[in-house]
Structure 1
């Protein structure tokens, strides 16, 4: 009987044995080089698990939205019991992953973390869940009001990448603030993997936040975003340069991303870099490159494209080709 080509339990083809042996040797050599150059580096064996944290976020989502994300179909009197069961499961796994993170950091210190610390962080995080729910509700409502294609708030919560990304961010932001930055960062990367939206868990975002379409949006660690802000796809709220490359004051190094006021709209492809302030109710047009402050109620746009008639178009092409040939 011939083994299925995708059967991992089947013996490798005879022709592959030498190749596998050589690859194993090369990989061992690469590992040894890495570890030799980084003697004393932290052991990542107990690093928090992406798979476990994906389950934590899914279970938390079911507790926050028991009927829409948790698929609870029982009586209203049974809903709290369902939520409690989901939270017990989520907090059990969350405490374990927080303990793994604390153990990872501890490797560089002789001090051991308080064994109650993971539980304390999880407990304090639990106290934020009501506010997380209210903030995500405001995000979903903003999307419903801002997108004429939306048919219901349920569609937004279940289908819109912006709503999914903000739910993950609201969870990650609280965990980051409570002292679990790796756990928080893994959660933010799970959102990025799922939606193409990259929001650092350190970013502060007000209520009623709406990311329309969403793919390619990047929001940096120290960004501060006000209330009722709308972003479109491929917007970047970034820093001017990587930390350590350029000489900056301490405040610029720490506060290196934009501040966006209330009721601001930023259209697709805009790139805003550095600790600039966008005033309330400002509008930033598509593909704008912005490095300086914008006053409240301003409109910043690219120069309007010029439409040429056929004769002018031929003349322009002749000039461009001639310039290239030179």
Structure 2
């Protein structure tokens, strides 16, 4: 989809002599009763999918001071790879394909440590930096221009099987930044647009747009002459 050494903006998806289409049909054979429609819909979606992924990659490039060029993001960034796999899986899941979407996102999970359920709804552009340990649950909704850092969890308040068909995961508005280690839980939890959630924050209730939520560590300065080991710590 992103052939290196060519004009990324102008290049059309390659057919590779039909091999991609043939492989897709083989995979779909045992997974869906209407494989030709699913195949046609998916292949027709590729040009738009490519545009969305390029927006994601450009957003990552703009957001990360360590990124030097677009090809670097496309080729080596684990956050982009996880987003790439998610968007393909989400497209297939939307066409009613079982199992395969989870196989794709679990492959990305294994390779990157980033766990995005294909059922999640994520706007574009979207940025994941570093990424290890990120979890995005099935009914999560994420707006546009959202940035996530490593260790973020967008999860459910419980693992009650009876709630499988309900909204269990949070909603994140546009232009939100979620810093490392923040945990946001619950289907009714909404992070309003343009908010910043600081590192290691534990959040189970909604916050208004333009909020800044942070965890303040307790710092105790002790006399060096009175230092001794203690089994009691405040974390």
After TM superposition, is the score higher than 0.5?
yes
1:232 aligns with 2:232: no
Q: Aligned equivalents of 1:97 and 1:318: distance in 2?
A: 59
CA RMSD, 1 decimal = 2.3
Q: Which runs of 4+ in 1 moved over 4 A?
A: none
Match of 1:274 in 2: 186
1:134 deviates by 1.1
SS where residue 187 of structure 1 aligns? helix
Instruction: Quote the residue 2:16 is aligned against.
Output: 85
Q: Write the distance in 2 (CA, Å) between the matches of 1:313 and 1:214.
A: 41
Q: 1:119 to 1:256 in 2, by over 3 A?
A: same
2:223 maps to 310
SS of 2:175's partner is coil
State the distance in 2 between where 1:94 and 1:139 align.
25
Q: Residues 161-209 of structure 1: CA distance to partner in whole angstroms, max 9, x if unpaired? A: 0011111111000000001131111011111111111100011111111
Are 2:95 and 1:178 aligned?
A: yes
Q: 1:167 aligns with which of 74, 84, 99?
A: 84
| More off after superposition, 296-305 vs 149-158 | 296-305
* Cα pair 1:261 1:277 within 8 Å, conserved: yes
Assess if the C-alpha contact under 8 Å between 1:96 and 1:118 holds in 2: no
Which residue in the other structure is 2:113 paired with?
Answer: 196
C-alpha separation in 1, matches of 2:88 and 2:231 = 55
Alignment equivalent of 1:300, drawn from 202, 207, 213: 213
2: CA distance, partners of 1:93 / 1:234: 35
- Return the TM-score normalized by structure 2: 0.90
Residue of structure 2 in register with 1:215 after alignment: 132
Residue in 1 aligned with 2:171?
259
The separation in 2 between residues aligned to 1:119 and 1:135, in whole angstroms, is 24
Q: Which runs of no fewer than 5 residues in structure 2 stay unpaired?
A: none
Matching of residue 320 in structure 1 with residue 232 in structure 2: yes
Structure 1 partner of 2:38 = 121
Aligned-partner SS, 1:237: strand
1:95 to 21, 25, 48: 25
- Flag the structure with higher helix content: 1
TM-score computed with the length of structure 1 as normaliser: 0.66
Give the structure with the larger strand fraction: 2
SS at match of 2:50: helix
Q: Is the 8 A contact 1:216 1:233 kept in 2?
A: yes
